Amino acid sequence: MKLLHTADWHIGRTLNGYSLLDEQKYAFKQILKIAKDEKVDGIVIAGDIYDRAIPGTDAIMALNEMFKEINIDNKFPIYAISGNHDGAKRLNYGRDWMEFNNFHINTLLEEAFTPIETPDTQIFLLPFFDPMDARVYYQKQGMDEDKVKSIKNISDAMALVLADMYRIFDPNKKHLLVTHFAVSASADKEIELTSETTSKVGGLETLTASQFDKFDYVMLGHIHTRLASPNERIRYSGSPVKFNVKEAKTTYNKGVYIVDTEKEADKTDLREILPGTDLIVLNETWENLLDPEFYSKQPVRKDWFAITIKDFDRTKHVHTNVRAQLQDIYGTVVELDYENIEKKANESTSKNISQLSKEETVDEFFQSITGNQLSKDQKTIVDDIFLELERGE
Ligand SMILES: [Mn+2]
């Protein structure tokens, strides 16, 4: 059996307010083409299909069109689960109808114990869940109370879930798992996340690869880079689109995996996905940024830019609309930073902000951003505002 493994589409995501939908559609076209070229038996989407539990209408319509192209126009089966970003119950809508057309989507833990059976493979679709979901599920199954209470973290919960799955393994078939968690290579290794809100996961939130040993192959979602994969049999496909500046600084292309149960997984399984509009990260002086010699070599007005201005003395540019000037030249500037100002801001926070009064905090903030102290008039305005707020309370 041959499957295309992708994850973390996050349809509807924005980058500092800029919609990534066009970029996501561009990546989708490539994914569909890869599926056709490889003649896969299905497309796996390992969670975080939407970016939010209640997605916007444009996101819903875009995803609806993508699913239609995959499943109705091109007749590829879909094997999907919900991730931590998806609203499990909303995404569950229409599930029974979709099932008729080989569109399998699991969003609730209880659905994970009925694998999809093909002639030679069992595909287990285990959506994201938390320890509380597992407690509720096992309580309903009649597990005794003490044992239910002993489910303290995701690792405890997963041990029970996997044991239940192993019990229904058909020994004559291959066993695939699709799920959405942080899985590290071993217990003492932390995983670095690139795109989630926390920069690192470890300890109670992390599972270890050895828990999944009985599966022939595990297709993961949750971590947005395939470089976090624990090994070649347990892999993250990563997101098909770069979602932030940190990712834009990486030099490798995004991609999907082609998983063939008839062969060993290896590096040749990767199919790259190229950006339509790339995100270019610049760290340059103001003078360089405005120099035609420099910017004529950049993909201005085509790609997006995240710009950090080096050695920038804001006090010398109080009458300059920095962002507007850069946008005139470069087009879309999704992120703008000042290297020196940032340093100053860090220094001032080390002054122990908790010991400053409200008025002093505003003064500190103003200083760190502009390099100037508040004038007497400005101070009076700040004082008046705080006074007014207190009266309002
Ligand atoms: Mn995600």
Q: Tell me, letter by letter, the H, E, C secondary structure of 86-153.
A: CCHHHHCCCHHHHHCCCEEEECCHHHHHCCEECCCEEEEEECCCCHHHHHHHHHHCCCCHHHHHCCCC
Torsions phi, psi of 390, nearest 5?
Answer: -65, -40
| pLDDT higher than 90, residue 213 | yes
Distance 262 CA to ligand 1 centre (A): 29
Worst-scoring range by mean pLDDT, 83-92, 284-293, 379-388? 379-388
Q: Copy the structure tokens of residue 117.
A: 């059976």
Distance 223 CA to ligand 1 centre (A): 6
Distance 13 CA to ligand 1 centre (A): 11
- Write the secondary structure of the chain as one string of H (helix), E (strand) and C (coil): CEEEEECCCCECCEECCEECHHHHHHHHHHHHHHHHHHCCCCEEEECCCECCCCCCHHHHHHHHHHHHHHHHHCCCCEEEECCCCCCHHHHCCCHHHHHCCCEEEECCHHHHHCCEECCCEEEEEECCCCHHHHHHHHHHCCCCHHHHHCCCCHHHHHHHHHHHHHHCCCCCCEEEEEEECEEECCCCCCEECCCCCCCEECHHHEEEHHHHCCCCEEEEECCCCHHHCCCCCEEECCCCCCCCHHHHCCCCCEEEEEEECCCCCCHHHEEEECCCCCEEEEEEEHHHHCCHHHHCCCCCCCCEEEEEEECCCHHHHCCCCHHHHHHHHHCCEEEEEEHHHHHHHHHHHCCCHHHCCHHHHHHHHHHHHHCCCCCHHHHHHHHHHHHHHHHHC
Beta bridge partners of 335: 306
Distance 365 CA to ligand 1 centre (A): 33
Domains of the chain: 2-273 (3.60.21.10), 279-392 (no CATH)
Distance 80 CA to ligand 1 centre (A): 14
Distance 237 CA to ligand 1 centre (A): 11
Residue with token string 């499943």: 71
Distance 222 CA to ligand 1 centre (A): 4
| pLDDT higher than 60, residue 202 | no
Distance 44 CA to ligand 1 centre (A): 15
| pLDDT higher than 70, residue 190 | no
As a whole number, mean pLDDT of residues 335-362 equals: 69
pLDDT tens digit sequence for 268-311: 999 999 999 999 999 999 999 999 999 999 999 999 999 999 98
As a whole number, mean pLDDT of residues 233-253 equals: 93
Distance 129 CA to ligand 1 centre (A): 14
Distance 10 CA to ligand 1 centre (A): 7
Which pLDDT score is estimated for 206?
A: 85
Distance 48 CA to ligand 1 centre (A): 5
| pLDDT higher than 50, residue 196 | no
As a whole number, mean pLDDT of residues 120-136 equals: 96
Q: What is the pTM of this model?
A: 0.83
Distance 342 CA to ligand 1 centre (A): 29
Distance 58 CA to ligand 1 centre (A): 19
As a whole number, mean pLDDT of residues 13-32 equals: 96
As a whole number, mean pLDDT of residues 349-359 equals: 67
Distance 354 CA to ligand 1 centre (A): 34
Distance 329 CA to ligand 1 centre (A): 33
As a whole number, mean pLDDT of residues 180-187 equals: 89
Which pLDDT score is estimated for 369?
A: 79
Q: Confidence class of residue 371 from pLDDT cuts 50, 70 and 90?
A: confident
Distance 206 CA to ligand 1 centre (A): 15
Distance 63 CA to ligand 1 centre (A): 16
Distance 179 CA to ligand 1 centre (A): 12
Worst-scoring range by mean pLDDT, 35-49, 193-207, 228-242? 193-207
Report the interhelical angle of 21-38 vs 57-67 (nearest 10°).
10
Distance CA 247, CA 19 (A): 17
Are 333 and 326 spatial neighbours (Cβ–Cβ below 8 Å)?
yes
Which pLDDT score is estimated for 352?
A: 63
